[in-house]
Amino acid sequence: MKYLVILLILFIQACSDGGGQDAGVALIQDQTFSGSAAGEPVSIQIVASLNKEYIDSSLTNTSSTLAGVALYGAHIYKLTYVSNDANKGSDTFNASGLLIVPYSVEDDANNSAPWVVLSHGTIVDNASAPTNNLREGLLEASLGFITLVPDYIGFGESYSSDPSTRIHPYIIGSSYASDGVNMMNAAKSVLSTMGITPGRLYLKGYSEGGYATLALQKELETNHSSTYTVTASAPSAGPYSTVGLGALLTTSLADTTISPTLFGFLATSYYYNYSAVASEYDLSAVFNQTDSYDEETLFNGQKSSTETEAVYAGLSISTINGLLSSSVVSSMGTQLGAVYLGFSNLAGDSGASFGLAATSLTDSFSSSLLTNDLLMQSYLETAPNQYFPRVTTIFYHCSDDDTIYPDGTTAAVAAYTGLEAAYGVSSSNISSVTSSTGGHGTCPYIFTPAICFAQLEAVGGSKATLDAAVAGGQVPLSYCD
């Protein structure tokens, strides 16, 4: 049972007949707050209280290997809070996400439980946002974690059908960071009104969520370490090096089959979230066949990824060369390729070619990708401001993932362990787990980190203690390796 191949789709609507619900036992009923500044709560709304038996049945129906995994029932809330998008400044707006509290809190003498911020994978429609489609966080909560699942900016309470008003800042690191911290602050405040104290903090996410997790971890470790101490983090299958992925896709892999939705969404997001991109390009000049479809309505939050993929398939668009105009691909390929080559040769010329290529970017798309490259930005900073994870950080990635290539995880581990060595860290906190298969959509590592965190929590949150327990036979198998 080391690798859990799970497609976790919990149809909470099935509880509408009362089955599995514990009526009237919510820790707090619907309540509004006077939040007006970023990080303050606006409202809390009870969605459901699901008992352990219902959650266990749902998990078992998903996969027989999950029978008996659930340990607790959980209270599910929609939390609305004041947020801001750091990529665009300090202007505030209401955002939302799930706050899921396990029943174990009520049995704890200190009304405490560990907590985890779960960053979800890519969605393109508001109907799929966690607060609109309850399928995230139940596994983590049933293992005893207070679970936060941000909707992300542009979904849930911050949704607008007009992309020019607020399209989701897809793969924009500072946006996930500011919104994640805002939700954590608001959740901590609401939990306090319940008399609940969060314990050790964990972070996890898959795909887009893997990127969001690492961006949030960087923000917490860099700017909020006196308030929040991360115990362990598990970024999984994320595009951490946006330049590296972009360089490959606009050069050697330009004719390789991709999910056009992912990269069409990324280009559209950057167009709306970066004024330099909007100034340099018109959407009709970025995408091929725009006379046959409209990117502005394709990604207005009303079409699901299944629908957008069908649009692209109907136009026979399945590669970067098919999706983007040749001039855009050529410009990005040349400039991103130079930055990528320089980064790959850091040891050869002490970063001279990397620095020159990075400062020579003129293409706005390429510059935006570099701004959001979590690996390269560390090397563009000067000591002692170069970021690398200081806590247990396990990068999970299936070895046969052909959507977000596992080379990105290899690069992340190499980049960050290189900085560890440069800063004299004698015992690395950074590792990867890439031994399983399952592609991207059915990779077992979507959920395995939750089991890892439960094991870490059981031994006090220390990876070293867990490793010693496994070696000594006290723990039969570690999900963290």
pLDDT of 9 strictly over 60: no
Query: Residue 177 in contact with residue 86, Cβ under 8 Å?
Result: yes
3 state SS of 170: coil
Share of the chain above pLDDT 70, in %: 94
Nearest to 212 by CA among 274, 149, 272: 149
Let me know if 291 is exposed, middle or buried by CB neighbors in 10 A (0-12, 13-18, 19+).
exposed
Strands 392-396 and 230-236: parallel
Query: Residue 217 in contact with residue 132, Cβ under 8 Å?
Result: no
Q: How far is CA 39 from CA 178, 187, 251, in A?
A: 9, 9, 42
Could you tell me the fold of the domain covering 12-238+432-471?
A: Rossmann fold (3.40.50)
pLDDT digits (tens, 9 = 90+) for 23-76: 546 677 899 999 999 999 999 999 999 999 998 888 777 666 777 889 999 999
What residue spans define the domains of the chain?
12-238+432-471, 242-373
pLDDT digits (tens, 9 = 90+) for 215-229: 999 999 999 999 999
Q: What is Dmax (Cα atoms) for the chain?
A: 67
Q: What's the pLDDT score for residue 11? A: 35
Q: 118 phi and psi, to 5 degrees?
A: -105, 115
pLDDT of 169 strictly over 70: yes
The two three-digit tokens of residue 226, written as one number:
């006196």
Interatomic CA distance for residues 21 and 85, integer angstroms:
36
pLDDT digits (tens, 9 = 90+) for 227-254: 999 999 999 999 999 999 999 999 999 9
Confidence bin at 123 (pLDDT 50/70/90):
very high
